[in-house]
Chain A
């Protein structure tokens, strides 16, 4: 198993035709810089080593609640506790930076995301999220019918999105100008179906598709959809339009990092149906910030900064079988700064990390039942922030917030400076690439060996499809390699009993993470954080 050549990497990840676009034949000089970033995989992988054990621990602290994990779920749990007047908690995070896959960075006045970068305006039923957004000042007021009124500067600024197809940019995401009348008919029929599912309720009045998905109906009709793939579902409807298939595939890759034939039809429909307004069936407005969902991370962490301990790697959690107020759960970890072990004795622990780590860290996790964590699968992602000294000269549709490439396996790029109203001169583009199918060809170890320069070349080669001269404008490309970025809603997983049971506490450990929903969305992470906090509040108060 050797290292991957640059040519092979680009041809595999972007398609063979792109080999001619890149400077594969000769090593290409570049006058930009950058670095390869990633999660702390070194420490993460040490957890697997059997000899990674604490020495005797002298530093024990008693704190009623320990939250492990500083992503959206853990931060939301802490927010809920504080908001309910409960401040006796500590939040532990392995990395030096909070946010998990919602983290962000800035260079001077330019802010940009490293992962999740928008949410859709919550429907009136999602009262907890509306409460947070009101507290943040993002929602100004609530209309009499419960609809949140979002501040203008937080709604995605027009022009919102465009797609590059057939050598030209087109407004919107569906490239109508390259679509045949049949493509357009099928697209209309597809939208009709989505409206049907968006309106569909069960006998109890629960919607078939809603966010958080805990509010969804578990009607057998809905569960049937989860058993097949999104491409099978399109086939069942008699839709074979390549443009429609691309459109739906793009949606699945965008939200789940999975191709259309590996995404559950239920999840695929959810992407669209859960986001239609009940009234006019228009898509819910997008809320975004220059730093993406990093803005939410920054806000939340500022509310309880003194409760947060970063660079602390939790190695072991020993729950006790004793429940109730006297329960005692030990959380042991290594301070990566001082390299000293420390421990917390808590009544309750919220595990806000992913399930695949929970099984290694929590003693006797789910009675040692391996079924409980193995079905959780996670996808690789690559995110690059491309700094430009100026914008490319373009004709036709002007640079949008979201810029999608029809022929590409990437998701295109988001102009992170768009929401700040910066329309001239230097800017930052955030480019996304989910390993939707490609993960199978290379091993994790091979991908970890790919150097920064090859990833940067991959990014440029992709952008060159639409911007032949982009290379001259680039001043910096930083690449973030996400190992276990997103849980994957493959067919049968979301409605599996294992997934549904994973939200239940294991002794005095409660769980909060978006993977408990089987799909990676800010709304789900937030829901689980709030839910886990509520579970604890009901026990402790």
Chain B
């Protein structure tokens, strides 16, 4: 009865389901590595679970004795639904469930069982109609070829261009198409009154997956992939944060917990503005303290001054500073600044370090992440700034990044006013960084601040600042008007609340 069907179409069918199956497995492994870190463990667990589940599926196939064709179509549809929604479901569930790993492995197991059922059923369906030895050799050959295609295209095409969520949905759709198509291919083996019901179900699954595809941006809003935007080229999950490096439009981007830290195409603007005004206010800067800034990019700017003798960089996360020392694109970008013999890296919470050090510094560059949590907000308090005064002399200049004065004016001015309340003379300034928009900074000192543009590193070293535009940084436009929000203290953490209100829904 199947003789009328061109045989290669059946093998295309096998090829497609093989690709789909492997894609689901790769998606789960990638997601697990990205979310939970330790990719060796995650991939081992996912592959092991998947293969053993396939075994379970193959073994279970013996219990399906009747209506093989219908069972096959139903399995395709179930697989399309489960596999297709696996990545969006896991992305969305991650922030909300404590049992993420069981959920992930459970999904992998279920998908594996269905994939394991597929081929035995298909082979039993076809064995009545084809020479068995020919069937086995071709089905298995196409299956393995499909696996090869999937494993090559996944990292090179699907993840970079579609992202994990859309890849997942696309292969769900493809899988559902196989199901729908099989109702035509295997039509002679299906009971007539079942055909329509199967096609309706296939249409529903397809519609859901397609809707998911077009809503992918919406669905991953809770997750991180949409905010990361580009192709993920490196991830680390440390005890403190999730670090992701993505690549798009000729540059690469670093994200901490889904928040962009820099884009390699325009970070020079951010870091030149952060570092140079402070160093230009000091004659022969020698000892520099960097708080945060584990990417090594601020240190790169600092090392442009020949007078520098020592740089101490205090960054909480060793995973971040290790990445800056070992991840080739980042090492190239920061000029191996953290490997410079003058630089000491200390991995500690700056809040605790500031009490333990007894060194004095000529300049302090503060490059903490934005105050999106209490554990970071404490680093912008009067208490912390007062403690910092013990690490500086009367002429020391402090430069600090203070989030966007346009998007978050209360947050920006809260940092400025808090520095003033801690006894600093403060000069607010700003710079334009395409990836961030207009960005806010402040210079702070215990005495008057004088900047000498003549001290700028020689021509050709800087790409953004020159002796003419330096003064422009300190000219605030009309839309960055001074405000007087509540001072940020340890016992009110007003900054975290301002920041949360102002960035909510924007970031």
Q: Which positions in A face B, CB cutoff 8 Å?
A: 152-153, 155-160, 285, 390, 393, 395, 398, 420-425, 468-469
Contacts and interface: CB of A to CB of B under 8 A. Distances in A.
Interface in B94-115: 95-96, 98
9 contacts: A153-B383, A155-B489, A155-B490, A158-B374, A158-B490, A160-B491, A285-B491, A422-B349, A424-B240
Interface in B297-321: 316
B239 interface: yes
Contacts of B373: 398
A159 B349 contact: no
A157 B378 contact: yes
A155 B375 CA distance: 16
A152 B489 contact: yes
B492 interface: yes
Contact of A395 (B95, B240, B351): B95
B1 interface: no
A206 to B, nearest CB: 31
Contacts of A390: 239
Interface string B187-222: 000000000000000000000000000000000000
Secondary structure dominating the interface of A: loop
A398 B374 contact: yes
A425 B239 contact: yes
Contacts of B352: 420-422
A423 B351 CA distance: 10
Contacts of B377: 158
A158 B492 contact: yes
B404 interface: no
B493 interface: yes
Contacts of A420: 352
B398 to A, nearest CB: 19
Secondary structure dominating the interface of B: loop
B491 A423 contact: no
B381 interface: yes
Contacts of B375: 398, 423-424
B: contact size bracket: 20 to 34
Given A152-B489, A398-B374, 20 more contacts: A152-B383, A152-B491, A153-B383, A153-B490, A157-B490, A158-B374, A158-B490, A158-B493, A158-B496, A159-B493, A393-B98, A421-B351, A423-B349, A423-B375, A423-B378, A424-B240, A424-B316, A424-B375, A425-B239, A468-B98
A165 B242 CA distance: 29
B492 A469 contact: no
B382 interface: yes
Nearest to B354: A421
Contacts of A423: 349, 351, 374-375, 378
Contacts of A160: 491
A468 B99 CA distance: 10
A425 B382 CA distance: 25
B374 A156 contact: no
A494 B351 CA distance: 45
Given A159-B374, A468-B98, A424 B349 contact: yes
Contacts, number: 56
A395 B96 contact: yes
Among B98, B316, B349, B491, chain A packs the most CB atoms within 10 A around the CB of B491
A152 B349 contact: no
Interface of B: 95-96, 98, 239-240, 316, 349, 351-352, 373-375, 377-378, 381-383, 386, 489-493, 496
B215 to A, nearest CB: 23
A468 B375 CA distance: 24
Contacts of A153: 383, 490
A153 B351 CA distance: 12
Contacts of B374: 158-159, 398, 423
Contacts of B382: 152
A395 B98 CA distance: 9
Contact of B491 (A156, A398, A425): A156
B100 to A, nearest CB: 9
Contacts of A395: 95-96
Nearest to B96: A395
Among A160, A390, A395, A423, chain B packs the most CB atoms within 10 A around the CB of A423
A425 B347 CA distance: 13
Nearest to B373: A398
A390 B374 CA distance: 18
Contacts of A393: 98
B267 to A, nearest CB: 26
B36 to A, nearest CB: 11
Contact of A421 (B316, B378, B496): B378
Nearest to B97: A395
Contacts of A159: 374, 493
Contacts of A285: 491
Given A424-B240, A469-B98, A157 B351 contact: no
The 7 closest A-B pairs by CB, nearest first: A423-B375, A158-B493, A155-B491, A152-B383, A421-B351, A157-B490, A152-B490
B485 to A, nearest CB: 16
Contacts of A157: 378, 490-491, 493
A159 B378 CA distance: 10
A258 B102 CA distance: 42
Among A155, A158, A395, chain B packs the most CB atoms within 10 A around the CB of A158
A109 to B, nearest CB: 9
A117 to B, nearest CB: 16
Contacts of A422: 349, 352
Given A158-B491, A469-B98, A424 B239 contact: yes
Nearest to B493: A158
B332 to A, nearest CB: 30
Contacts of B349: 421-424
A406 to B, nearest CB: 19
A70 B49 CA distance: 62
Contacts of A468: 98
B336 to A, nearest CB: 28
A424 B240 CA distance: 7
Contacts of B316: 424
Nearest to B384: A421
A152 B98 contact: no
B191 to A, nearest CB: 47
Contacts of B489: 152, 155
Among A157, A398, A420, chain B packs the most CB atoms within 10 A around the CB of A157
